[in-house]
């Protein structure tokens, strides 16, 4: 008898259960209905998808709480390192489920096209320290097209002498671009570091100045 609920095919169900038992990230790329069924069955904690962008391929991941990851993918290593970090930080119950990332992908596409200046996305910053969260909130408050210094971000985060610590916290930003750590520079105008490399930082700043990445 069909009760209207979506069923997980037996082989897929076994794979899901085995992945949960082994505690390893589940990297399924099968039909979308598998992800839908996993959600219905409560077997999915973290959904991920990829997005092609002017600054390279991005991997996005979300939980029920919100967007948890925007990562620059290494073309040679792929997503494995990112998935391992997500498993350690959030949960090993990870599945490729692009439809659950439709809204973040849409907003990022709009940003790269110059049609969006801020993001309307809930975030999941679970696993981060309180200081890192304060630094990220300070970075998120920097307006589109403007920049701030590491010292200014540290001051807003409540640590006026913590410019170096603020830089380290920004380096662990799990949602770059959405939380715009690329807008934070050295006091002398130098770019400073960036999780995606300085060329990407420069490209993002160029987009926000009305230019083109490159």
CB count in 10 Å sphere of residue 133: 15
73 Cβ contact partners less than 8 Å away, ≥ 6 residues apart:
50, 56, 57, 58, 59, 79, 82
201 pLDDT above the threshold of 50: yes
Mean pLDDT of 47-65: 96
**Mean pLDDT rounded to a whole number for the chain:** 85
pLDDT of residue 14: 53
Q: What percent of the chain has pLDDT over 70?
A: 78
Catalytic residue annotation:
181
Please indicate whether residue 74 or residue 180 has the higher confidence score (pLDDT). Answer: 180
Q: How confident is the model at residue 150 (pLDDT cuts 50, 70, 90)?
A: very high
pLDDT digits (tens, 9 = 90+) for 68-124: 999 999 887 778 889 999 999 999 888 889 999 999 999 999 999 999 999 999 999
DSSP symbols for 2-49: --SPPPPPHHHHHHHHHHHHHT------S-HHHHHHHHHTT--SEEEE
Q: How confident is the model at residue 40 (pLDDT cuts 50, 70, 90)?
A: low
The size of the chain, in residues, is 214
Q: Which domains does the chain have, with CATH numbers?
A: 10-112 (3.30.160), 130-208 (1.10.10.10)
């Amino acid at each position: 008898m069909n009760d209207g609920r979506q069923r997980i095919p037996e082989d897929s169900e076994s794979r899901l259960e085995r992945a949960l038992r082994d505690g390893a990230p589940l990297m399924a790329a099968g039909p979308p209905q598998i992800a839908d069924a996993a959600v219905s069955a409560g077997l999915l904690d973290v959904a991920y998808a990829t997005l092609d962008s002017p600054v390279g391929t991005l991997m996005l991941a979300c939980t029920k709480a919100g967007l948890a990851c925007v990562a620059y993918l290494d073309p040679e290593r792929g997503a494995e390192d990112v998935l391992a970090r997500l498993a350690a930080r959030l949960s090993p119950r990870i599945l490729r489920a692009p439809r659950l990332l439709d809204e973040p992908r849409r907003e990022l596409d709009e940003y790269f096209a110059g049609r969006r200046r801020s993001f309307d996305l809930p975030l999941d910053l679970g696993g981060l320290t309180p200081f890192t969260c304060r630094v990220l909130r300070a970075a998120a408050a920097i307006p589109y097209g403007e920049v701030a210094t590491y010292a200014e971000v540290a001051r807003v985060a409540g640590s006026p002498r913590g410019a170096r610590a603020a830089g380290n916290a920004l380096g662990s930003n799990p949602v770059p671009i959405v939380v715009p750590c690329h807008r934070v520079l050295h006091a002398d105008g130098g770019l400073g570091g960036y999780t995606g490399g300085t060329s990407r930082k420069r490209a993002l700043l160029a987009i926000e100045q009305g230019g083109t990445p490159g």
